[in-house]
Structure 1
């Protein structure tokens, strides 16, 4: 099961995203009372805005629509802050109050806008090349910045404001757990039956997901063995991404845990367990991977004088392991799932690494549409790769056509004559073919 889980996570992870370097100029008209820290913050914000605008335009994203959504959402966010400030300063009562209100409003609004949306998370690193002011108008400030843009974070930021995809609410979450014992039996955990231990942990997780997980679902069901087998069979048959449906309905949360007894101290009456594991969260209808992760190893050494207490302490340690990971489920689930789907058929595949290399290449060139490519099926020397993405299918099709002729792993992607545009084959590269000829002679 461990190998199956690792293979699943390996096959369907999103590929790497390229980065880009852009330059931007920030401009800000300061006031005499503005301090240098405030001025620098505003200049950086304006520089970042120009840099991100350039990068969005380079990627083919609608920067005007993004900033319009950004401004609209910021105004909605700041409106209650402005109303609260009015109540405190009462600008309608006197000219002095009006002046105080306008000064405070300007400072608070500019500070809030520079932080709103955390747009700086799309900036991987930056350097200030120049900071100056106009000789004729000293309060006119300028800053030139060069920055490395993280395209993945930028597209995530873009999608979070544009919301070009939508998702129906989830009704249920199926919790599927697999507890594996290493160098031990269930009696070593302080119980007679497996269910006496696992049911306690599952019930705690179920309660936490409903009450504290922020998932917003109405029901959590601890899956039985038949449903777990169904889930594992789908992974084993490489059916993830195979369906073209994308409507959300139910969540599948699969958790694998390994309990390894590493020490039994009969003198001190202590028993030590090392616990490791991983999880994956999927949309059950689209099979879209929403989240996955590996838990750090937890080590517990507890007294065995009272086996009931020992079992409770071990179960409590295991129960707490995923909570910090699962706290982000609410944000993950509310993000849009790519609504478009294409499938590529490839022949002359040597092994699974060829298919994964092509998937990674598609993920890289498809960053604009937040494409997620993964292996659908591998049979003999033929593979199918499924691609989910946002936006116009014809544009994605043109991007994919542009991959014909590209080289991966000493092989060239070629289109098949008299076949559809999404039917490819792999052929040895010219350099690889020459090496084979030399070796044969």
Structure 2
């Protein structure tokens, strides 16, 4: 959530940056300022009236001590009249603050000046590309055929148990999932990230804090009896660990990693792009999250991009890094880099990670702050990235490494999986 004072002090710049995200409701920016003006007016009226109540009340004691009961009764009447005025002011102030809050959460984060203009994924910038696209042998197949041939993922039984889009991993498929999760966590903790295993359900406050509510409410699985949400990513519970806390400067940066299953309704998804493991309702992912000093967040973002890039390179998969344009960014992000791996059998790029700087947009909602060297309380900046999401990684590992002998895994996974090759 943007800070009101940032909007007030930079109205034109705010509108220009929002235009990069193709934000259409610019009138909302002016409404926020108008509502904040009204809030300030009401607050001043309340404070002035309350001060009169306090000062007049003090006079009553003095008058009573002097024995001037008549004057004291007059002051009591005046206090009662002033207190009667406070009630409607309080109600108006509460209503104005609620309306202001509601307006603020409808305004997306401001994109960084590094964000390119654009409307769709076609306008994203390719930062760099690396790795060699494999030349597959004549009998090569896409992963949705390979998982049946090797009997490692069962979508039909998953659909029987739950529904479409909930895969059942078995045998070598389950073992590969476990191996990847352990490797990703080891890789992250070796880089200084502290491992967490968070709850897989969150309350409304947590979902609101990271921006899933109200922006992505339709994409989350909701349990209305308890008002809990199944997490779409471990970013949500992990970032909320420090909600409503003030950290010390020497605690920074806070670096966290977590494994979790992720649950997404993926409403409106259909067609060839969602076949097999390309898009599912439940999947496993390892996440990295950082809370950093505001002056160091873009340095931290580059560090995280390099971290994810080296992880992908270790899997020996061809990949590319994209800088997302304004129209393809999330509501909460200030700058996002997407990582895609090349699927040789599908002959297309598949997204496996998004690494983003949210600046103070999330931390303002969660009130995650720190004391700077001058003792002043400031909002931290939050960042997160996938390190990595498993389904499309698995799809590309199967497709790109298939041979007549089996699926030949990259060297880095041999000790984790316990074998070099997945065989029939």
Higher strand share goes to which structure?
A: 1
TM-score, reference length from structure 2: 0.23
Structure number with higher relative contact order (C-alpha < 8 Å, ≥ 6 residues apart): 2
TM-score, reference length from structure 1: 0.22
